[in-house]
Amino acid sequence: MAEDGFKVSLNVYDLSQGLARQLSTTFLGKAIEGIWHTGVVVYDTEYYFGGGIQSAPVGTTPYGTPIRVVDLGVTHVPKDVFEMYLQEIGPRYTAETYSLMTHNCNNFSSEVAQFLAGASIPDYILNLPNEVLSSPMGALILPMIQQLESTLRAGAVPQVPQFAVNSSHRTNGAVKTKDDDRKPAPQFAVNSSHQTNGAVETKDDDRKPADEGSNKKSVEKDPLGDARSKVQEEISREFAAIMATGTLRASEAAALATRKVMQRHGHMSTSAQT
């Protein structure tokens, strides 16, 4: 049953904070709703791609509050298997391979969503680069795109530009920004020797402690916990056995192990079993 798995969702952020919607028609000659950044939420953690594969507890990423959350379904893949999958794809998602137009956070979210839940993220998010470049002014904003790409490649959050009303009277009109407020995104160090359950512990004096409600939930007994644990253990054992044969990659082995166990418990449709 679906409730035996882990919920998977997509957090969607607008890096322009509304400016794209206001100014895109003027600057690009066509309407663009937002400059999208996404992260996949599963196991109470958000995973995303910036300066490498990164993760953070839900609600603590540098991108703030998502403007919308898209339900991607449920996964039965255990967390440890998922983190092995992240290690496998890690070399393809580094600061050096990041490209705002062709290999970005949304491409990462799409691949992870497919692996976890067999789901796709919305086309309007994946097609944004083509929308921008195909606009009448697309070629003219390439330098700005390259600058934004450098910021994201470093794992930092781009800042919304501030405009002074009149440059000749800038003394009272200019908006001051604080560099101290620009916090780098925490790195998901898949090869770190100090890795704890796949996520790197980060220290932030300004970050609020986790919601007490979430702590209380962890104390309460999950009535489905035993069944869920049994399924996860079976998937882990099946995964280890497949990997021992040396014939499949970790991502393929994880998908096959999950499918076998779900078929064994009758959680997949008849058409999926044939």
Q: How many CB atoms neighbour CB 29 within 10 A?
A: 11
Choose, from 37, 103, 194, 267, the residue flagged as catalytic.
37
Q: Is 166 helix (H, G, I), strand (E, B) or coil?
A: coil
Catalytic choice (105, 169, 265, 267): 105
Distance of alpha carbon 45 from alpha carbon 172, whole angstroms: 43
Sheet hosting strand 52-57, strand order edge to edge: 52-57, 45-50, 36-42, 6-14, 68-75
- Written as six digits, the tokens of 105 are 């956070």
At 132, which helix (H) or strand (E)?
A: helix 128-133
Tell me the C-alpha distance between 83 and 97, whole Å: 20
Going from the C-alpha of 144 to that of each of 28, 59, 100, 131, 149, the distances in angstroms are 13, 29, 11, 16, 9
Any idea which residue has 């099946």 for tokens?
A: 238
Do residues 10 and 113 lie in contact, with contact meaning Cβ atoms separated by under 8 Å?
A: yes
Determine what percent of the chain falls in helix, strand and coil, rounding each to the nearest 5.
45, 15, 40
**37 counts as catalytic:** yes
Rounded Cα distance between 15 and 88, Å, is: 29
Q: Write the burial class of residue 152 (CB in 10 Å: 0-12 exposed, 13-18 middle, 19+ buried).
A: buried
Reply yes or no on whether 267 is catalytic.
no
- What are the catalytic residues? 37, 105
